[in-house]
Amino acid sequence: MSEGYSFLVDTSKCTACRGCQIACKQWNGLPGTQTKNEGTYENPLDLSADTWKIVRFSEGSSKDGAPFWHFFSEQCRHCLSPGCMAEVENDEIVQDEKTGAVLFTPKTSKLNYKVTRDGCPYDIPRQDPKTKRLFKCTMCFDRITNDMVPACAKSCPTGALVFGERPKILEMVKDRVQDLVKKYPKAKAINPEDVRVIYIITGEPQQYWKLAAGR
């Protein structure tokens, strides 16, 4: 496989505007979800067959009492060795050779949903209750194979989402972490060798989202 593509997700630049979440819905023609106020800024509350990208909000205080307020633009990580593919026998899920995108095909309706979802260390796959087909982020495969960046990266107004060739993104990740540790000693990239969607965080993973670093 070629080196393919990757994302840098710099959570220190994220303002939780949710532009990426909406751009994902718009480009992929996904319907809005009826929601109600559950006492959190997250809306909707979780990923679904119709929501492939969601901005997680997390607030609290550290062991030393310092408050934190973190945002985490959640999506499929497009793993290099995808755990969701463990049960695949007939191309229900495929990994594109050129881009590295992990793609759920219509044949995912034949997969065992629980096994596929449990196989993902980040709890990403979701099932359409009617068709039984599984869904998640496609890396905007139709855009990236036509010389466009994914809709989320295109929409991000702060530069928190950057998409590009994997070697360049890995260099950018390294440089950005080196910069951030001067101000945030805990700054780090999460599992950069294992995933194509590489999050940079400035605190502990559990301060962002329960599955930020994988199970």
Residues that bind ligand SF4 (CB under 6 A): 14-20, 55, 71, 73, 76-79, 82-84, 102, 120, 122, 124-125, 136, 155-156, 158, 160-161
Sign of CA dihedral 99, 195, 121, 157: negative
- Yes or no: say if 139 and 150 are a contact pair by the CB < 8 Å rule: yes
Q: What is the CA radius of gyration of the chain?
A: 17
- At its nearest, how many Å lie between ligand SF4 and the CB of residue 157? 6
- At its nearest, how many Å lie between ligand SF4 and the CB of residue 194? 9
Query: Closer to ligand SF4 at the Cβ: 7 or 187?
Result: 7
Query: Closer to ligand SF4 at the Cβ: 65 or 103?
Result: 103
Q: Quick one: which of 32, 7, 35, 9 has its CA closest to 22?
A: 32
- At its nearest, how many Å lie between ligand SF4 and the CB of residue 46? 15
Query: Closer to ligand SF4 at the Cβ: 150 or 170?
Result: 150
- At its nearest, how many Å lie between ligand SF4 and the CB of residue 7? 10
3-state SS, residue 17: coil
H helices, E strands: number in the chain:
5, 10
Query: Closer to ligand SF4 at the Cβ: 125 or 205?
Result: 125
- At its nearest, how many Å lie between ligand SF4 and the CB of residue 52? 10
- At its nearest, how many Å lie between ligand SF4 and the CB of residue 65? 27
Query: Closer to ligand SF4 at the Cβ: 152 or 170?
Result: 152
Query: Closer to ligand SF4 at the Cβ: 160 or 177?
Result: 160
> Which residues neighbour 16 within 8 Å (Cβ) at sequence distance 6 or greater?
41, 55, 57, 71
3-state SS, residue 74: strand
SS3 for 165-211, per residue? EHHHHHHHHHHHHHHHHHHCCCCEECCCCCCCEEEEECCCHHHCCCC
